[in-house]
Structures are given as structure tokens and as C-alpha cells.
Structure 1
Amino acid sequence: MASTVMVWSRGGASTKVSCLQPMPRVISRRVLSTDAADGVLNGPSGLLSPRTDIVLERAEGDAVFSAVEGPVSQYQRTVTVEPVGSDQVEIIERFDYRLAIPVWRVLFTVPFSRAIRQGREWPWWHPPDRFTARQARIVALLATLAVIAGFLGTLLGQTITFAREEFGESKSAQGIALSLIRLSILITVAVAAFADRRGRRRTLLYAAAGAILASAATSLVANLATLAAVQATSRGLSHAMALLIFVFALEEAPAGSRAFVASMLGLAAGLGSGIAVGSVPLADLGDAAWRLSFLLALAGMPLVLFAARRLPESQRFETARRQPRTRPPQQYRFRLVLLAVTSFAVLLFAAPASQLQNDFLRDERGFSATKITVFTLLTAWTAGPGMLIAGKLADLRGRRVLASVGVSGGALFAFWHFTLAGWPMWVLIAIGTLMTATTVPTLGVYRAEMFGTIRRSESNGFLGVAGVAGSAAGLAAAGFMADAWGYGTAFAILIAGPILVAILVLLYYPETTRRSLEELNPEDA
């Protein structure tokens, strides 16, 4: 429907134009005197100048603006002025837009609408950089897949104690099974190497589909050995999936917002982990009811198909694949060893602290499956704020100090909670979870930033091997020491790993904030 409105021009005169009136998403109205209106419209950063905040605009005509850049697939801003009295006018600013954020759009519509209506300042919740429509779409799709990866990666640790009970196996057998499952890292390395040669997108989608199907097949196993074999396949593919999501997203993210994107992916994976934890009470329905949690994995297949139709290939990979594969630069080996030691030392503590917690709560504190779920959910929620705050600070202030404090402080509080009972145990692990979560956007981003595109996925696969070695060593050592001396003593010894990492980060890690991947890895330039 067309109508005639009066549009205020820069010269102060008004003209009549005929325009289509789309149904606006956001309308801002203000009534001002004619003199005041002229300042609002034509002054510095006035309404008749293009915006340069979370949306970069260009003028399409008198008082009509479209988006040059921003997280929107459709966008138009129209400014109209209508007289309401002898010396007053009403300024109407209309925004019609569609966010380029599939799946998660409902979470961002209200804050985005409020931000564009209230002014031209960057909102507190926004990443440090403006996102393009492509970047917003890719990160949203990868976050959707991260939910699945988080679910698949958490499920075994939450349910194996119940599977062991059904199969009549000992804790030692459970520990051996968990250690053998970690050989699935070989699958992860192979998939990661394939992604460096054939592409991120296709490899990621195949890994996601395979991990889901293998997880669903776990519900059919007849003994602990078969469970270990099937889960080795699922875990190998789901870890490759998580690795590729991370690499893909950070290759597409703006240089000044990589830590923020890492925190978003961490939150999405945390949601998946929370769903896995929330499924644990199903185990209380019967000896074999733990199998129902693995069947839930099939719900992720429609999301994989949804992403497959919309996810493009990484631009950096498309550029790198056209270049000849050269020898690694001199700094490559040092960085690989440094990050491998970090992965080993962190998971030496973190893997047993996470995987043995349910056994600790069940055997040492007498928790039921439902109470374990309540404990986990009520103490793990702090991870979200931890990642969000650290992601923004890491992009604005730097990574190294935050990473060092997060990895050492998180381990200290986690160790402490194994020595106590009652409400202090709940409080301490909640604080430890918050501090540990800060390492996702601070320490985790180095895994993508320290390697060139043609070796980024493969290098992360090798780091996964180091992490698995640390996990296996930590689980074996923790299990032995917990039986001999108790959980407190076991983790008091293993905390040496995170303390070592905190020192390495401060001494040897570079500061990568707001530096492009090409600057950090000249072989990509």
C-alpha cells in the first residue's frame, strides 16, 4: 500500500515522496520542536546520516537507508517527519529487517531491535566487531551443530556408571573401557587431516551424521566391551565434529571477535551437555533405561540436514586449497609442542575431575541419578556467564592473564570440592566451573590461531592425541590413587598439570588479540 509522507531533507526543507510502507519490525517515534528536530536529523550522527554501528548503512535516497554490512539478510531504515502542530513535528524512524541468524534468531531479535531503536552506540552484549550476514549465518549454523557435539561428547561420562551396573562390571573394567575409548582419537586425527585436504563443510557434516548414528547404536549393545567399541566410533567422530566446528568458526570470525565466537560455541556445546545431563534421570526407570539417553541422539539428525542445506565452505580454506602445500614454517614445531604439553597437562586433571565426579557423588556422597542431575545442573550454570564475560574481555583486553587465572583457579576450586561435603561442595564446584569456563575463549582460541589454514585441522587433531594421552593418564592415575588414598589426595597431586599450564601461558604464549590469522601465520598471507 502506497502513501504520501513528508521527508525531512538535509537542507531543512520538506518534500513529499510516495513510498511503499512495509510492515516495520521496529518503530521509533519522537515529537520535537522544528528547531530541535533539525538538529536531531541533520546534526553530527543525525538520523539522516548512515549508521556505522552494528549495521553499516548506505543511503538509497532521501531518508532511506539499506545495509552494506551487518548480521541482516534484509534491512531498510526510513526516516519520515510529520507535522503535529504549528511548531512541532513527529520524527518516525522505521526499521524493517530480517536477521541472518538461523535457528537462534528468536534469542537475538529483541536485543537487536532495542539496540537499533535506542541509538548508535554499540550495545554491551555485542561482540567487539560488526558481523556480516555470512559470518552471522555460519556461526549460528555451527553453534547449532555444537549443541549436538556437546550432547554426544557428554553422554558417555554421564551414563557409563549405570551401564557398568547393568553389565555387572567392576570400576576397574569401567576405567579400562574409558581408557580404550580414548583410542578413538585416531579417528579424530584422520578426519581432521581429511578436512585440511577436502574441506571443512563436507567433512564436518559426514562426521556429525556418523557420530549420531553410532551413538544411537550404543543403545543396542550387549556388554561393556561392545559399548566401548561403538562409543569409540561415536566419540572419535563427535570429537572431530567439535574440532571442525571450532576451526571453521574461527576461520570465518572477525579478527577482533574470535574469543567471543569461541564463547558462543562453548555456550552452545554447554547446552548440548546440559541436555545430556538432563537425560540421566531416565536411568532411574530401570537397569537398562540408560540406553534411552543414547537414542535421543537421533533428534540431532534433522539439524544436521538443516545445516547441510545452508552452510557454505570456509573462505580461508577455499583460498588455501589453491596454494601449493609447503613445508611447515620454523615456528610450527615449537607451537605444536607448546600446545600439546598444554593439552596433556590440562586434561591430566580435567578428564578425571569430570568423568569420575558421578562415581564420587554416587559412591562417596550417596547421590541418586536424579540428585546427580540436580547437582550438575545447579553447579554448571556458572559456565555460561564465565564464557560470555571472558570472551568479551579476551577480545578487548587480551587472553594470556585471563587464561592463566582461569586454568589454575578452576582446577583449585574443583580439587577443593572433592574434599568436602554438603553445601560448600556445591558452591566450590560452581566457582570452579565458572573459572574453568573462562579458558574456552581465552586458552582455546590458540588452537586455531597458532596454525596456518592448510594445517589447522590436522594440528588440532594432533593436539587431541596429546589431550587423550593426558586424559588416559589422568583417569588411570586418579582411579588408582582414589582407591588407595581418596579423591582429595588424588586431585591434590594431579592439580600440578593446570598449574604448569598457567606458567607456560604467561611465559611463552603470544598475545593474539585483534590480530588476523594471516598476521599470526605468515604462510597464509
Structure 2
Amino acid sequence: MAARERVAVLDDAAVARALLPRTSVVTEREESPGVFVSTDGPTSSYRRVVTVGDAEADGRRRVTQRVDIQPAIPYWGWFFGPPLVNHLAKIGGPDDKVPMWFPPDHMDERATATLSRLGVMAFVLGYGATLLTQSITFIAGEFGADKGAQGLALASVRVDILLALPLTLWADRHGRRRLLVGGTIAACVLTALGALAPSLWLLTGAQVLARAVINASIITIAVMVAEEMPSGARAWSTSLMSVAGFFGGGICVMLLPVADLSDRSWRILFVVPLLLLPLAVRAARGLTETQRFVAHVENRTERVRPLEVLRTHRRRFLLLAASASLLSVFATPASQFLNEFLRTERGFSGAQITLFLTVTSIPGGIGIVVGGWLAEKGRRLVGATATFVGVGATVMMFISSGAGLYAWSTLASIIGAAAVPALGVYGAELFPTEARSAANGGISFASRIGSVVGLVFAGELGDRIGLPRAFAYLAIGPLILTVLILVAYPETAHRELEDLNPEDTALPPTG
């Protein structure tokens, strides 16, 4: 419980405003004169007491306000709690402006706590999802693999989606929570098996299994966010999940100097998920099934047939599947060959790669959060602009060196990251509950196809003409996507899922 007391000398109009129930970040109810409690908001306990003193010589009054708050933010309260408490402690009016770091829609206790716990799962999964990408150049050093072999290994591991697809279908039939919890636990264990691999190809096989459950679990997080968050906070919440995954991947980046200690020390990085497993299990205990899935099950009258449902949403599915493929044909190889490019074409050591990725990638977290906030005002313009500028800056990075390399990479990180929440939320928004996970699994499959094409192309062509020119050719895909976003994507900001998918069961009213 946090307590804050503020004192201000106010005129009569400001005093009157301070004595009204708030309606912005929290919705208050006046319990007694000058005493307010929350009926809706991101807190598990909230009480505001306003005391007004006698008039001073100039007619103004001394107002003392005490706020006792318990933010409903498990695990992340150390980061988000203080700014929330300080904002709510300010003396102001009932409809004071919502801060930019908070979504432009009400987040109640359940939504806030659920988002926090999903963030922990995203953090753990983010490490596993990033691991092979970051360590492949060091793994290749032990096994003597050239760029072509690395590209083939990275492309081969993309068949994980063939195993992830049945898992997403299972989630549409049996529930989101069960898939997410079981998948995260399995991901940690299967990733650790890679530490025992005697060859690049056996490591690739272990990663196929691990990444299958990782990707199915990440898809499930996106679905749970869409189903649990209010309509004006879905993109913003998606951005926070991306940041949480980014932090998990950041742990992997920070450990890269360990992989550079010897030819075999990269194996240590594959054991780390076992250390993160207790955190994931603890967070999972507080997760519940999504309200929309529960409502769907309670009103279901026949066996779930996700693939049949998708046929009635064929146009939406093909649009998003094509988009995912066009983006991945560039984004995946650009990400996965970056360390190889830095090590072999720019002469970076493991420590220098870590420094570069840290300096240039951390600002991407800002781009993700700002992109999520802007996307709540409109998805399409944010998504198209971020894609176009981000891809262009990435191409410039690969043809630069010295300070230009850092500058272009940072710009690509900030601007390009804004596309993640703006576009990522569409997959869950445009499909009904009965097929939401399956649809996103299919979109991920299309993304893998683009990834495989891009990885093989970049690997083979990179050995012949160099990675910079290879990525200039691959950038054609995202440029086509930019046009698609502007001319074919619907606007979904502030629209309920039941509005976008009329066949869904409406949630019962709350309160």
C-alpha cells in the first residue's frame, strides 16, 4: 500500500473540482463528504480523502489530499506503480487528462493484473524466442558452419509452425490459459535440451520443438490480450507485451559475452530458461481463462470447427497472411543475420555486439510503447509509416559503418518498432473467438514461409554479393505491405471485438 499526501492553496472553482469524483484513470464513488473510493480502475485498493481548510486572506483555501493506493500490478509494480501512484496523488479535477503512458480507456483491476501476469510469460518466452537468433554466429563457430549453413539452419527451424498450428487449434477448443501455462513450462525445458546438442542439426531439431511451443504460447498471449483488454487499450497492451518480450530477449543479448568466452560457452545461454521457469509458474497461478472464451463455451451448442469458421473470414485471413509473409521476408533475415554481419563484415567481438544491440535496441522499447499509444487513435497510418521508415532505415544500416551504423540502427529500432502493436493487434481483432487462435496460427505459418524464403535468399546471396545488397532486394516485400495497409486494412481502434465479429457472444454487462 502506497500513501501520498499533497497540499495546495486553491480558489473556489479548483476546490470544487477537487471535491468531485474522478472519472479518468480511476472511476470514484463518494463514500462520505470528501472521501472517495474506486469503483473501477487499475488498483486493488484505493481511498482518497480531501480536507478543505478555512479561507485565507485572499479568499483561497488550503486543500490537503491524502491518497492510499494499492496498484493491481503484480511483478511489474516496481516500474509502473510509482508513476501511477504519483499521478493519482495529484490534486486536480474529475476528468484530468490521462497521462500518455496510460491507455485512453479504463483498465480495471482484473485487466491490469492479467496484463501484468501475461507480461511475465512474455518475458520468459521472449528469451527463448530470441536465443537462437542471437547465438547462431557463436554456435557456428564451434560447428564450423558458414553463412549458407546458418541460413539453412535458421530456415529449417521455421518448420516449428507445423507443430504450433495444432496447438493453436487446441487452444480454440480447450482454452487459452491451459495452452499458455503448459506451453511456457515446456518451452523452458525443451530450450535447455539444446545445451546438450552435439551438432548444429541436432540443435536445430531441439529448437524446432522448443520454438513450436514458444510460438503457440506467444500467439495465445496475443489472443488473451485482445479478449481481456478494453477496446481502447488493445494496441497499447500489445505494445507492453512486446516490450516484456523485448526485455526477455535483452537478457539474452546481455549474456552474449558469455557465449564469446570459448567455442562451447554458448551452451550456457540455453540453460538460462530453467532459471526463469519458477517465475513463470508463479505468474501462471494468478491467470484465469479469458471472459470471452468462457462466454463462448457457455453458449456453444456444437463442436468447435475453427477451420470452417475461417472460411467465412477468408478475405481477412488472406490479407493478414500475405502481410505477414511480406514483412517476414525482410524482417526475419535482417534480425537473424545482424550478429553475423557485425562479426564478419564489421569485425565486432561478442562484447561489441552486445554493446551495439543494447545501445541501438533499447530505444525500440520507446517506439513500441509510443506506437501502441498512437495506434489507439488509428492503426493504419501508424502501421504504414512505421513499416516504410523502419525498413528503409534498416537497409541504410547494412550499408553503413561507424557512427552511421549506430544512427540508422537506432532509427530503425524506434520507428520500426511502432509497427509492432499497430499491426500485431489485427490478428486477434479480425477473427471470432471460435477461431481466433487458429487464425493467428495460420498467419504465423504464412510468416514462416516468408521467413524461410528470406533466410535462404539472404544466406545464399549474402555469400555472393554481401548482405547489404541482399537486404536491399528483400525490402521490396515490406514496401508492398505499406500499400496494402493503406488501401485494404480496416480501422479497428476503439471497436469492440463483438462489433468486428458479430457472430461472437456478447459479454454480460459488468457492475
Q: Compute the TM-score of the two structures, normalised by the length of structure 2.
A: 0.93
- Which residue matches 1:502? 482
Residue 472 (structure 1) shift: 0.6
Counterpart check, 1:205 vs 2:181: yes
Residue of structure 1 in register with 2:45 after alignment:
74
Distance in 2 (CA, whole Å) between partners of 1:81 and 1:178 is: 66
Could you say which residue in structure 1 is the equivalent of 2:269? 293
Seen in structure 2, the aligned counterparts of structure 1 residues 340 and 64 have a Cα distance that, compared at 3 Å, is same
Structure 2 residue aligned with 1:8? none
After TM superposition, the structure 1 = structure 2 runs for residues 211-360 of structure 1, keeping only pairs within 5 Å, are 211-322=187-298, 323-324=300-301, 325=304, 327-328=308-309, 332-360=313-341
Q: Kindly, what percent of the aligned residue pairs are identical? A: 38
2:7 corresponds in structure 1 to 29
Distance 2:174 2:286 in 1: 18
Q: Secondary structure at the match of 1:290?
A: helix
Counterpart CA distance in 2 for 1:507 and 1:358 is 36
Q: Secondary structure at the match of 1:59?
A: strand
Q: Does 1:487 align with 2:463?
A: no
1:61 paired with 2:1, answer: no
1:386 equivalent in alignment to 2:367? yes
Q: Which amino acid aligns with 2:489?
A: Y
- Taking the aligned partners of 1:113 and 1:166, their CA distance within structure 2 comes to 51
Is the aligned partner of 1:110 residue 2:82?
yes
1:133-153 per-residue CA deviation (whole Å, 9 max, x = no partner) reads 000000111111111121111
1:442 aligns to 2:422 (yes or no):
yes
Whole-Å separation in 2 of the counterparts to 1:124 and 1:28 = 22
- Equivalent AA in structure 2 for residue 72 of structure 1: T
Larger radius of gyration: 1
**Who is 1:96 aligned against?**
68
Deviation at 1:256, TM superposition (A): 1.1
**What residue is the counterpart of 1:14 in the other structure?**
none
Counterpart of 1:393 in structure 2: which amino acid? L
Equivalent-residue separation in structure 2 for 1:474 and 1:175 (angstroms): 9
Which amino acid letter does the alignment assign opposite residue 298 of structure 1? L
- CA 330–190 in structure 1, closer or farther in 2 if over 3 Å, else same: closer
Q: 2:138 aligns with which of 139, 162, 175?
A: 162
Give the AA of the match of 2:114: I
CA distance in 2, matches of 1:299, 1:84: 60
Letter in 2 for 1:139: L
Amino acid corresponding to residue 370 of structure 1 in structure 2: A
Paired residue type of 1:109:
G
- Work out whether residues 329 and 523 of structure 1, in 8 Å CA contact, stay in contact via their aligned partners in 2: no
Deviations 1:348-390 (A, max 9, x none): 0111111111111111111111111111111112211211221
SS state at 2:491 partner: coil
Q: How big is the alpha-carbon RMSD for the aligned residues of Structure 1 and Structure 2? A: 1.8
Counterparts of 1:211 and 1:489, CA distance in 2: 36
1:16 alignment counterpart: none
Task: Report if aligned partners of 1:24, 1:94 keep a CA contact under 8 Å in 2.
Answer: no
Matches of 1:353 and 1:88, distance apart in 2 = 62
> CA 1:104/1:249 → structure 2, altered by over 3 Å: closer, same or farther?
same
AA aligned to 1:483 is: D
Matches within 5 A, 1:454-465: 454-465=434-445
Quick one: which of 142, 152, 174 aligns to 1:176? 152
Contact 1:321 1:454 in 2 (8 A): no
SS of 2:131's equivalent?
helix
Match of 1:193 in 2: 169
What number of residue pairs does the alignment pair up? Answer: 495
Q: Is the 8 A contact 1:391 1:442 kept in 2?
A: yes
Flag as ranges the 4+ runs of structure 1 deviating above 3 A.
Answer: 38-41, 81-90, 324-327
Q: Which string of whole-angstrom CA distances, capped at 9 and with x for unpartnered residues, describes residues 297-316 of structure 1?
A: 11221121111211111001
1:116 maps to a residue whose letter is L
How far residue 167 of structure 1 moved from its aligned partner, in angstroms, is 2.1
Q: Determine which structure has greater relative contact order: mean sequence separation of CA pairs < 8 Å that are 6+ residues apart, divided by chain length.
A: 2
List alignment gaps of at least 5 residues for structure 2: 506-511
Paired with 1:361 and 1:308, the residues of 2 have a C-alpha distance of 38
Q: 1:89 to 1:320 in 2, by over 3 A?
A: same
Structure 2 counterpart of 1:370, from 343, 351, 363: 351
Match of 2:509? none
For residues 187 and 306 of structure 1, what CA distance do their matches in structure 2 show?
A: 27
Are the counterparts in 1 of residues 7 and 65 from structure 2 also a CA contact under 8 Å?
yes
**Residue 62 of structure 1 aligns to which amino acid in structure 2?**
P
Matched, 1:361 2:337: no
- 2:89 is the counterpart of 1:129: no
The 8 Å contact of residues 400 and 505 in structure 1, kept in 2 or not, is answered as: yes
SS at 1:26 equivalent = strand
Residue type at the aligned position of 1:257: A
Question: Contact (CA 8 Å) 2:253, 2:357: kept in 1 or not?
Answer: yes
